[in-house]
Amino acid sequence: MKVGFIGTGNMGGPMAANILAAGNEVRVYDTNTSATETLEEAGAVRCEDLLSLASNSEIVILSLPGPPEVDAVASEALESMSAGQTLVDMSTNSPAVVKRIAMRAQTKGVGFLDAPVSGGVRGARQGTLAIMVGGDKSLYDSLEPLFGVMGANLFHVGEVGAGNVAKLVNNMLAFSVMMSNAEALVLGAKAGVDPNVLWNIVRTSSGNSMTWEGGGRAILRDRLAPMFTVDLACKDIGLATDLAREVGVDLTMIPTAERLLKDFQASGFAKEDVLATVKALEEAAGVTVRGTWDQ
């Protein structure tokens, strides 16, 4: 396939690399030119503008920070696309925004799917992402082999927008649990329990989750490089609470996590990893759990 990939950052870069490694012809574009260097070395073609990428690709994939960026880039890309091409948004986006993009694509005869992903940078590198796809089932079926080189867990969720509904529900759960996990580690340590012992207890008990195992391990090892920033977490959980208001669902737990994340964002954690917020909890409690890993 001739694939154009727009947005080759922490997630998009490894995803595009896997598409390239599978034998596809890949064109790439990113406003940060250094983000495409590794892909160019591996054989991808860097495009100087969206016009040349979109007009020379069968499938155009977007992996961008959020709704404003996707809306603007999709509009520009569609100007150069024609009937028979396909646009796939793999960003975490607003269901309402992707539905509007799908309508614009339809007027040009361009296929459209929303296909957000979960699994982090590690999953992107290993090609083991979960990919949640909304849109025409026959179009999804035709692109399933392409999704398969990026992900190990593929789901056709429903109509356009359904992929992002699933992604927002997943992320709002993940971030609320992450906040709870950090508080639990700090509380246990402050009350006299070795955080390593507590981590092992919970991971074999009813409180366990992927975020407890992976996130707890990262906190205890103090390996908190900004893989998923508080800024991005605030964006995603905000999209989830916006969706709840749109469909008339009254949430109670999730807005609390959203307020906590926004407080961290305003207090200097905006560009730090969401798990790094444990540092504020440690300071307030007068106890340290980071760097205590002894497994």
Contact 203, 194 (CB under 8 A): no
**How far, in Å, CA of 259 to CA of 107, rounded?**
40
Q: How many residues does the chain have?
A: 295
Which amino acid is present at 124? Answer: A
Main-chain dihedrals φ then ψ at residue 8, nearest 5 degrees: -115, 50
Contacts of residue 117, defined as CB under 8 A and 6 or more positions apart, other chains included, come to 11, 15, 90, 123, 124, 129, 130, 131, 132, 150, 151, 167
- Catalytic residue numbers? 167
**How far, in Å, CA of 28 to CA of 8, rounded?**
7
